[in-house]
Amino acid sequence: MRVGIGYDVHRLVRGRPLILGGVTIASEWGLEGHSDADVLLHAIGDALLGALALGDLGEHFPDTDPRYRGISSLKLVETVMRMVHEHAYTLCNLDSVLIAQQPRLAPYLPHIRRKLGDVLGLDQGCISVKAKTAEHLGALGRAEGIAAYAVCLMAPHHR
């Protein structure tokens, strides 16, 4: 078995869509970034790559490459999942945490889990997404950004 960890943080700015786990969240503020800035999918992509010691998303999809401008991060994670299968591994489960002072994310979690299930090819029972505030502490607590952590477990394919 192999375990992977991922972390990401993006700044909140006015006038950008807020997309988390491939789901658009109603908000006047969105995350700044070269792609769609989906901080949860970025943490998940890094966890998947990390489990197989394949580097990180920034290495595979550099933000200097115009091909990735505004791209849906679902596409990036789809590509990473193909790499996982090419390396003869199967994803067993995924756990994740979003840290957002605002907006309130709890109502969106079921939809986000369904989206993640589609892109990761996992049952709902193997996907966990939790939402926390930052208790008004520090930059995240001032809602200057949103952060995400993800952990995944993988098993080699049976041959």
Contacts to Mg ion by CB under 5 A = 8, 42
- For Mg ion, the closer of residues 42 and 115 by Cβ is 42
- Closest separation between CB of residue 33 and Mg ion, Å? 6
- Closest separation between CB of residue 24 and Mg ion, Å? 17
- For Mg ion, the closer of residues 77 and 122 by Cβ is 77
- For Mg ion, the closer of residues 68 and 108 by Cβ is 68
DSSP state of 158: P
List all residues 6 or more positions away from 130 whose beta carbon is below 8 Å from its beta carbon.
95, 96, 97, 98, 109
- Closest separation between CB of residue 7 and Mg ion, Å? 10
Q: What is the number of the residue whose Cβ is closest to Mg ion?
A: 42
d(CA 37, CA 127): 21
Query: Nearest 5°: phi and psi at 151?
Result: -130, 135
- For Mg ion, the closer of residues 4 and 126 by Cβ is 4
Cα distances (Å, whole numbers) of residue 77 to 19, 42, 91: 14, 8, 13
| Other beta carbons less than 10 A from residue 151's beta carbon | 19
- Closest separation between CB of residue 68 and Mg ion, Å? 11
